[in-house]
Structure 1
Amino acid sequence: MNRKNLRIRMAVPEDAGTLLKIYEPYVKNTCITFEYQVPSVEEFTQRIRETLKKYPYLIAEQNGEILGYAYASPFKGRPAYDWAVETTVYLKVNVRGNGIGRQLYTALEDILRRQNITNANACITYPNPESIGFHEKMGYRTVGHFTKCGYKGGHWLDVVWMEKFLQEHSDKPEAVIPVGELHLQDMP
């Protein structure tokens, strides 16, 4: 796959139907996500809207075809956690392994740094050597392993948490800037 024409842009709520088609096989056929039911388009649209209030929700597309997406969400709901996020990436199954996830995560991390985010965290079903290997290549390290904490597909599943520091931890961190307040014209 030629990545030269790959364009990364911010999602809009109208992308929900297409993004849901990418997500659906992960819900139905894997334990990668712990959702049991595929969300409705309306629910997925609302998820995008909620995310964009504060965080980036990025899409990778080539020649008008959406190939994948990545976004950040709150790590926890308390104000002291504002500088930490959970990162997520999903690709069309047939385009995995072509560097698209790397480009999405790189763009996501760049925006998060501009927002003053310091910690990126990924929650990964275990075992999942593809995702763990991807995150390791992106500079994440395993910081936690939770045993049999999820149940899907007829069996108990572990999760690992991986973490990456996106920038230095200041003694007086600057406030997190909502993504809508950034000037993103120079987004890759």
Structure 2
Amino acid sequence: MEISIRMATAEDAEALVAIYAPYVEQTAISFEYEVPAAAEFAGRIQKTLERYPYLVAERDGKPMGYAYASAFHDRAAYSWAVECSVYVEQGCRRGGVGRRLYQTLEELLARQNVLNVYACIAYPNPGSIAFHQHMGYRTIGHFTQCGYKLGRWWDMVWMEKMLAGHPECPEPLLPVGTL
């Protein structure tokens, strides 16, 4: 069975919330305390798609994971930098789904003229750190005890990957819908 990658729609919200819920309820991978309602999640998808890719990996029409980019910072000078997130259904982890999602996401971001990609990772999280290192990211920052969840304090690590060189006059960021 082949994995396909496609752009998400608001109609994917319920299935994607089901993938996301264990991360919220059982881990510090997400610092959210409450699982968002499907309607709120649909709004997040639509908001992201105004500018950035929001991808779904599926097999036989069933979502197995998703990845998306968001603004690294709202100010215009940061237009060429994004933060990326990936979530894979618990039973599908370590099967290449996350890698396929990130590869496709990075290809789209490069076509949008994005240059810097960041990942914000709760620490310790050796699986996510190893995944990002394998994908070419390097650690650039470590924040100590900055998030409290599940009865303890968590550190945060920032990792970075450059998708391209930094020209003297960069091309403008292209909204994903124009590709």
Task: Tell me whether 1:12 sits opposite 2:9 in the alignment.
Answer: yes
1:54 is aligned to 2:51: yes
Aligned to 1:148: 145
SS at match of 2:171: coil
Residue type matched to 1:40 in 2? A
Question: Secondary structure, in 3 states, of the residue corresponding to 2:169?
Answer: coil
SS at match of 1:175: coil
Q: Secondary structure at the match of 2:70?
A: strand
What stretches of structure 1 of length at least 5 have no aligned partner? 183-188
Query: Where does 1:90-101 land on structure 2 (aligned, <5 Å)?
Result: 90-101=87-98
Q: What's the secondary structure of 2:172's corresponding residue?
A: coil
3-state SS of paired residue (1:76) = coil
Report what 2:34 is aligned to.
37
Aligned to 1:159: 156
Amino acid paired to 1:105: Y
Match of 1:185 in 2: none
User: Is residue 131 from structure 1 mapped to residue 119 from structure 2 by the alignment?
Assistant: no
Extract unaligned runs of 5+ from structure 2: none
State the match for 1:116 in structure 2. 113
Between the two proteins, what is the percent identity of the paired residues? 57
- Where 1:46 maps in the other structure, the secondary structure is helix
Question: How many residue pairs end up in the alignment?
Answer: 179
What aligned pairs does 1:81-96 form with structure 2 within 5 A after superposition?
81-96=78-93
Give 1:78 shift.
0.4
Task: Name the CA distance, whole Å, in 2 between partners of 1:169 and 1:93.
Answer: 37
Tell me by how many angstroms 1:64 deviates. Answer: 1.1
CA distance in 1: counterparts of 2:42 and 2:107, whole angstroms: 24
Amino acid across the alignment from 1:175: P
Give the residue type in structure 2 aligned to 1:41: A
Q: Which amino acid aligns with 2:148?
A: Y
CA distance in 1, matches of 2:12, 2:96: 22
Please give the per-residue CA displacement for 1:64-91, whole angstroms capped at 9, x wherever unaligned.
Answer: 1110000000000100000000000000
How far, CA to CA, are the matches of 2:52 and 2:61 in structure 1? 24
Structure 2 CA distance, aligned partners of 1:59 and 1:41?
16
AA at the equivalent of 2:26: N
Task: Give the counterpart letter for 1:88 in structure 2.
Answer: S
SS of equivalent to 2:85: strand
